[in-house]
Structure 1
């Protein structure tokens, strides 16, 4: 098949959607398909080396420096028809998603979309004067989904949410975003302990993600403060960058944790994978995740998880042998208690680690996910053929 993937985010932007798109492309190409990406140009200085990527002029989003707003005005538009695309797969409802819908109608190609993000929780990035209401955001999501020939939801929880917005149940198929398990078997190259002078007897507690308010990292710092009262040999390593970094660094100083909390900033994909493998525990308190890829990646590395069980993360950790501990609500004492329990109980730790690896391997490999996505494509193409007979 010739597959066109349209996305408003892609590397070097570091987030779950960028990772998902890259993994889709790599796995589909392994299976012999031709995959073409249509993404915003990141900057004049950034040169892509991957093949089959079409970039469109873009401007920086004023309220989030890493985000780009694509302007689908390019001579590359005239090349799309020559690609003989069989299917279009968009990753969001914004500029590239709108462009994908336009090309779908123009070329009479089936259009699939994945609902990666809980946009309702990201309205705070917009100033009040242009911020949509919750109802308006939900209506926008519903309208986008109804324009698609099929909607892919990463979890049942998110599917139920879309249905509650008015999207027909049969219009949505649940396919978790898989991860490349093989990459977790490679030797570690980025030695975190050496770079940040972490002692061998100190336990590394890890967070990976964008430093935005929806991730509740300020809450996690307070939890670490609680843990530190009972366990001195810890280091909290925060991998990522974002609008809240200055605020979070101030909180660390306020809690006198400047010797216990490390901000590494945003890191290349390879270093992030090394961080998972060296951590003793991964903690996460976001309430906006459609799935929680960072949780899955930590588990794939055999690193147990203590996380808030909301939305997509709930769908992961509510399984009996998932390899993580789910906290029902944002409660500092509950989080701290479970962190200490996992770090101190060697038998529990061993079981969680083994279960995590097996759980991801059996249920969330990129091979399984892409196979299911390709089946969605093929079903739509078969329906289209029958309609034209």
Structure 2
């Protein structure tokens, strides 16, 4: 089967969506399918390249304001229409409703090609910068939701990573057939490992380590975690380890200095893919304070590595973090230090939560995700 992916963030970008899309594309190629990727280039020049048997059409692009290292394709409609005519795909799979997604959707509708839309998008992901604009916040938020729903209602079938995500879409007006399909996790790659050698690998101290890994962007609220540290440190000699990059990197580092936490917070920056399983296993607890997760691949990776998790009680995070079972949920920033300390103060509880994480993650085996998507492609192709 010939399958086109249309997306606005793809390898070598390291986002949850980009990593999922590439993993799915490479797995589909291994199962005998031909996969073509429409995504932005990193500069104002069209180009093609290959990756693991996939053919990537990088559409000329410009830097996207407000988003670290992101670009957006410039008027890709005519080029994408021509590329679709040449490829003659069996199905089109859009992964977000932005420039390439919209152009691909329109061309697929014109040529009567079946469309699967996977929704990874919430208004918070598109415009985190609207939140300071108090008078415009509500109308912009509602307008973005209307566009997301309009886009998805053009597809033949819609998926989203969680039931929470599907509930959001239906509450805002989704009409087409849809189901949740987990982003999934490679359980052979992410699994518990011995901690001490990995602490040495990253030159980390032999102390309790709290981890955040992912984008350093506003909706991730990494500042919540940093602000919890002074209270945590009054009762626990530990360190906070932060990996990743993003537009808030400097702001976060300034906050660390302001709170005199320079020696208590360790910034590892961007980590290559092969180091990700190692960093989870070098640490003891994963913390995520995000406002806008439709699943959270980093949380999947953390629980697959056997970590307990403290997470914000927002979005789809409660589907992965069962309060009191494999971690704790918090509603207000003031609750976060206590939740962290509760786990470290009871070794038996921490061990039970780690074991429960490993049980919960079994339902998210990536091999099942690939099979589910393959079944949907065949289903919409036959309609």
Match of 2:16 in 1: 16
Does the 8 A contact of 1:304 with 1:352 survive in 2?
yes
Match of 2:141 in 1: 134
Does the 8 A contact of 1:14 with 1:266 survive in 2?
no
Match of 1:158 in 2: 165
Distance 1:190 1:166, change over 3 A: farther
Report SS of the residue matched to 2:12.
coil
For structure 1, list consecutive stretches of 5 or more residues without a partner in the other structure. 384-389
Report SS of the residue matched to 2:290.
coil
Query: What is the rounded CA distance, in whole Å, between the counterparts of 2:25 and 2:161 in structure 1?
Result: 17
In the alignment of these two chains, the number of paired residues is 376
| Structure 1 residue 189, shift from structure 2 partner | 12
Query: Is 1:176 aligned to 2:182, yes or no?
Result: yes
| Structure 1 residue 193, shift from structure 2 partner | 3.6
Match of 1:387 in 2: none
Superposed CA RMSD: 2.8
Query: What is the rounded CA distance, in whole Å, between the counterparts of 1:316 and 1:140 in structure 2?
Result: 28
Query: What is the rounded CA distance, in whole Å, between the counterparts of 1:280 and 1:89 in structure 2?
Result: 37
Report SS of the residue matched to 1:64.
coil
Report SS of the residue matched to 2:11.
coil
CA deviations 1:43-64 (Å, max 9, x no partner) are 4899955141111111111222
Does the 8 A contact of 1:57 with 1:74 survive in 2?
no
CA deviations 1:338-387 (Å, max 9, x no partner) are 212222322222222222123212x111111121122222211121xxxx
Does the 8 A contact of 1:206 with 1:237 survive in 2?
yes
Does the 8 A contact of 1:190 with 1:271 survive in 2?
no
Match of 1:96 in 2: 100
Does the 8 A contact of 1:23 with 1:179 survive in 2?
no
TM-score, normalization by structure 1: 0.88
Query: Is 1:295 aligned to 2:299, yes or no?
Result: yes
Equivalences for residues 4-83 of structure 1 within 5 A: 4-43=4-43, 50=51, 51=53, 52-71=55-74, 72=76, 78-83=82-87
Match of 2:211 in 1: 206
Does the 8 A contact of 2:191 with 2:304 survive in 1?
no
Report SS of the residue matched to 1:184.
coil
Query: What is the rounded CA distance, in whole Å, between the counterparts of 1:230 and 1:326 in structure 2?
Result: 20
Does the 8 A contact of 2:80 with 2:104 survive in 1?
no
Query: What is the rounded CA distance, in whole Å, between the counterparts of 1:343 and 1:189 in structure 2?
Result: 16
Does the 8 A contact of 1:64 with 1:125 survive in 2?
no
Report SS of the residue matched to 2:183.
coil
| Structure 1 residue 66, shift from structure 2 partner | 1.4
Distance 1:79 1:152, change over 3 A: same
CA deviations 1:89-141 (Å, max 9, x no partner) are 01111111112112212332111111112124542336969986112111111
Distance 1:65 1:284, change over 3 A: closer
Does the 8 A contact of 2:115 with 2:380 survive in 1?
no
